[in-house]
Amino acid sequence: MSSQPARGTTLTTPIRGVSPASGMAAWRRAGVVVLVLASAVLAAPAWGADDAVAARERGAAVIDAFVDHYRRTGDPTSKLAELNAMAPALAAAARTFIARGDNAGAAQTLIPLGDIHRMQGRWEPALTAYRMAENFARQAADPSLIARALKTQAQIESSQRDYGRGLAHAEEALALLRPLPDRKLFADALLVLGDIQVKLADFAGAADSVSQAMTIADERQEMACGSTLCSIAAASGWPWASAMRFARPKGACSRSISP
């Protein structure tokens, strides 16, 4: 009995019964999405630097509010309008940073733009934003920003079942983050890696990744059990008690959107 892909998942490997012509058409559609988003960012009106920073901060606040509301209520729709309304502002802010030669500012702004698309399953525009962010972060030689862009790409690639690329991006992100002081981002990247390891049936590797992430969360005295940990527990067949043990000392898993 053949397994069906999860709803909203885009497969990146050939599918039996799908013609090469159909595959090429899909790649062309993805290319159009890439060009449309890149053009939208580059064509957006440039603002003053202060306005661009303010827009980025508003975007972060709107994303946090959306995630918090979903975690508390399970309602993914009532704040969608606010979330989507921020996308043009973030594109304009990114254009401003690009025009000013502020590569780090551009990367910091493109990542939340990608988040808005990713959180709604719009994989191609999200990946485009993250790849642009990675490019600008590399030009800025900022390892933390590079790692953020790689981690978010890995999240999408995991959703698209592109596990090889997702694994490479997650591992590169961790290598960049290991010597840095941002332990929260390091733990988040470990959970992304663990999710991919489960999907590759590397349960021992996933257990190690999750254990490291939970140790960091414990040290930071944070609730560390989010959607990624829940999906790892469910996919691997671990009992929920084990997931709760990894999430010590705060408690059980809850439904959430990973920011």
Please state, in angstroms and rounded to a whole number, the distance separating the CA atoms of residues 36 and 59.
21
Q: Under a CB-based contact definition with an 8 Å cutoff, are residues 193 and 178 in contact? A: no
Q: Give the helix ranges, DSSP H, for 123-226.
A: 123-140, 143-159, 163-177, 183-199, 203-220
Return the number of other C-beta atoms located less than 10 Å from residue 149's C-beta: 27
pLDDT at 229 over 70: no
Structural domain contains residue 62: yes
Q: Under a CB-based contact definition with an 8 Å cutoff, are residues 115 and 65 in contact? A: no
Helices 123-140 and 143-159 sit at what angle, rounded to 10 degrees? 160
What is the reported pLDDT for 55?
A: 93
For 30-34, 166-170, 211-215, which range has the lowest pLDDT when averaged over its residues?
A: 30-34
Structural domain contains residue 130: yes
pLDDT at 102 over 70: yes
Structural domain contains residue 34: yes
Query: Which two structure tokens, joined as six digits, stand for 238?
Result: 């671990």
Expressed as residue numbers, the domain containing 62 is: 29-202
Which residues, 6 or more positions from 39, have their beta carbon under 8 angstroms from its beta carbon? none
Per the model's pLDDT, the better-predicted residue between 75 and 167 turns out to be: 167
3-state secondary structure of 7: coil
Mean pLDDT for 33-54 is 62
3-state secondary structure of 91: helix
Please state, in angstroms and rounded to a whole number, the distance separating the CA atoms of residues 105 and 97.
6
Kindly tell me the burial class for residue 117, based on how many C-beta atoms sit within 10 Å of its own C-beta (0-12, 13-18, 19 or more): buried
Structural domain contains residue 94: yes
pLDDT at 99 over 60: yes
What is the reported pLDDT for 47?
A: 64
**What one-character DSSP code corresponds to residue 83?**
H
Query: Which two structure tokens, joined as six digits, stand for 109?
Result: 């702004």
Helical (H) or strand (E) element with 109: helix 103-118
pLDDT at 6 over 60: no
Q: Render pLDDT for 111-120 as a digit per residue (tens, 0 to 9).
A: 999 999 998 8
Domain tally for the chain? 1
Helical (H) or strand (E) element with 71: helix 49-73
Structural domain contains residue 110: yes
Structural domain contains residue 36: yes
Per the model's pLDDT, the better-predicted residue between 78 and 39 turns out to be: 78
For 2-16, 24-38, 100-114, 148-162, which range has the lowest pLDDT when averaged over its residues?
A: 2-16
179-203 exposure pattern, b = at least 16 Cβ within 10 A, e = fewer: eeeebebbbbbbbbbbbbbbbeebb
What is the reported pLDDT for 53?
A: 92
Structural domain contains residue 8: no
Q: Render pLDDT for 181-201 as a digit per residue (tens, 0 to 9).
A: 999 999 999 999 999 999 999
pLDDT at 146 over 80: yes
Please choose, from the candidates 89, 93, 69, 88, the residue with its C-alpha nearest in 3D space to the C-alpha of residue 79: 69
What is the reported pLDDT for 60?
A: 93
Structural domain contains residue 229: no
pLDDT at 21 over 70: no
For 31-35, 109-113, 212-216, which range has the lowest pLDDT when averaged over its residues?
A: 31-35
Q: What is the CATH number of the domain that holds 72?
A: 1.25.40.10
